[in-house]
Amino acid sequence: DDSDADVRPPQRRRMSDAEEEDYAGEASVTQGDSNLEVMVKNMVRLALAYEYSRTPIRRGDITNKVLGATGGRQFKAVFAEAQIQLRGTFGMEMTELPMKEKVTLAQRRAAQKSQSTQKSSATWILTSVLPERFRQPEILPPSQAPTLELESQYTALYTFVVSLIYLNGGMLPDGKMERYLKRVDVEEAAAQNSVNILNSGGDKTEKLLKRMEKDGYVIKVRDNSTGEEVVEWMVGPRGKTEVGDSGVRGMVNQVYGEVADPAELARALERSLGANEAPKRREEQAAQSQKKGRRRRTQMQTKEEEEEEKEEEKKDEKEEKIKEEVRVEEERQHDGEDKEVDMVDAIAASI
């Protein structure tokens, strides 16, 4: 009947197998892009939140909090896209921190025994990518949390401490550190700003250094290999990345301003910063010793031979350490103790 044909609803054409596969593929791609976009946004949020508290961004945290159990293979894609958004929107990027140096005998021995071949820290912090002309306090002021005054003071103090370590050859004895901090009146500086930079009670200088150590600006090294504990301070991974040689040069030049003999100041500064190569050379020597130790262990079969190897390594390390200490001491004597004190006093007066 013609009337029945007119009112009968049209039947939908059944999809072919090929069309169904194409449709499913498009849906899968769309869902994949959506998941990637969500992970990138979470990655950016994680980086900003961690930097706010000066917490390093670790690969494990990215996996657990951003990628999840099934997203591990997308790390490179998510990381690269997050970098693009951080640079374009916030003027920052994730910069990988250097690995911690192995300076004590115990650390070197542990490195020799370890079979790990890790060559990177897999840890990042946010750093600015703005051109130098824009890196001014008016454009990039300190954070207002908890207060602008507190953050400004802390920035000045950790920059000062990192600079002291750099200017003393990369390793600063604990006694010297204490004397320098007394000279700048750390506790008085906190009171003058009417902001309690540290928790009340206890040794405020010690708490300040612990905070800097927690934030990664400095590292406290204890060495008992000689039978007597030696405590020294080194620049931490964040201190190297956030302040570094360039930050120390900028601070010294800003403090001294125009001087009668700029060339002499530059030479003195380069000599002080050049001594920073000592810890790096010690780490390189430890790495070479580690390679030699592995080759030797494959050839040695008896415990007596292993003990002889350890004694030889001890002797070599002791000789290298003595040579390095003599060289650094000669350079410091050449510069003169008065110049060192004058430089510290000048920097302290600016804080």
Residue 117 structure tokens: 């071949």
Joined together, the tokens standing for residue 251 give 């601070």
Cα dihedral across residues 125, 196, 219, 246: positive or negative: positive
Residue 243: CB partners within 8 Å, gap ≥ 6? 158, 159, 162, 163, 217, 235
Q: Given this model, what pLDDT does residue 194 score? A: 41
Q: Are 340 and 332 in contact (CB under 8 A)?
A: yes
Query: Between 57 and 300, where is the model more confident?
Result: 57
Residue pair 238/215 in contact by the 8 Å Cβ criterion: yes
Who has greater pLDDT, 132 or 64? 64
What is the pLDDT averaged over residues 321-331? 66
Tell me the pLDDT band of 193, cut-offs 50, 70 and 90: very low
pLDDT at 225: 77
More confident residue, 342 or 232: 232
The DSSP code for 78 is H
Instruction: Give the three-state DSSP class for 221.
Output: strand
Q: What is the pLDDT of residue 213?
A: 94
Looking at the predicted structure, is the pLDDT value of residue 279 above 60?
Answer: no
User: Which contacts qualify for 59-63: CB closer than 8 Å, 24 or more apart?
Assistant: 59/122, 59/123
Q: Provide, rounded to the nearest whole percent, the portion of the chain with pLDDT above 90.
A: 31
Average pLDDT, the chain: 77
The residue ranking higher by pLDDT, 229 or 192, is: 229
pLDDT reading at 34 higher than 70? yes
Q: What is the pairing mode between strands 218-223 and 230-235?
A: antiparallel
> Region 219-244: what's the mean pLDDT?
91
Q: Are 204 and 182 in contact (CB under 8 A)?
A: no
Q: Which of 17-21, 30-34, 227-231 has the lowest mean pLDDT?
A: 17-21
Confidence of residue 282 (pLDDT cuts 50, 70, 90): low
User: How many Å apart are CA 185 and CA 95, to the nearest integer?
Assistant: 34
pLDDT category of residue 195 using cuts at 50, 70 and 90: very low
Taking 90 as the threshold, does the pLDDT of residue 233 lie above it?
yes
pLDDT of residue 315: 72
pLDDT band at 253 (very low <50, low <70, confident <90, very high): confident
Q: Comparing 77-81, 112-116, 224-228, 287-291, which segment has the lowest mean pLDDT?
A: 287-291
How high is the pLDDT of residue 186? 77
Please check the confidence at residue 12 and state whether its pLDDT lies above 60. no
Residue 29 phi, psi dihedral angles, 5° rounding: -65, -45
**pLDDT, tens only, 160-189:** 999 999 998 899 999 999 998 888 877 766
Q: What is the pLDDT of residues 103-147, one digit of tens each?
A: 666 666 666 666 566 778 999 999 999 998 888 878 887 777 677
- In this prediction, residues 144-155 reach a mean pLDDT of 80
Q: Which domains does the chain have, with CATH numbers?
A: 26-114+123-139 (1.10.10.1200), 142-276+339-350 (no CATH)
> Which residue has better confidence, 186 or 22?
186
CA pseudo-torsion sign 302, 304, 308, 311: positive
Say how many residues make up the chain.
351
- Whether 223 has a pLDDT exceeding 80, the answer reads yes
Report which listed range, 16-20, 40-44, 327-331, is most confident: 40-44
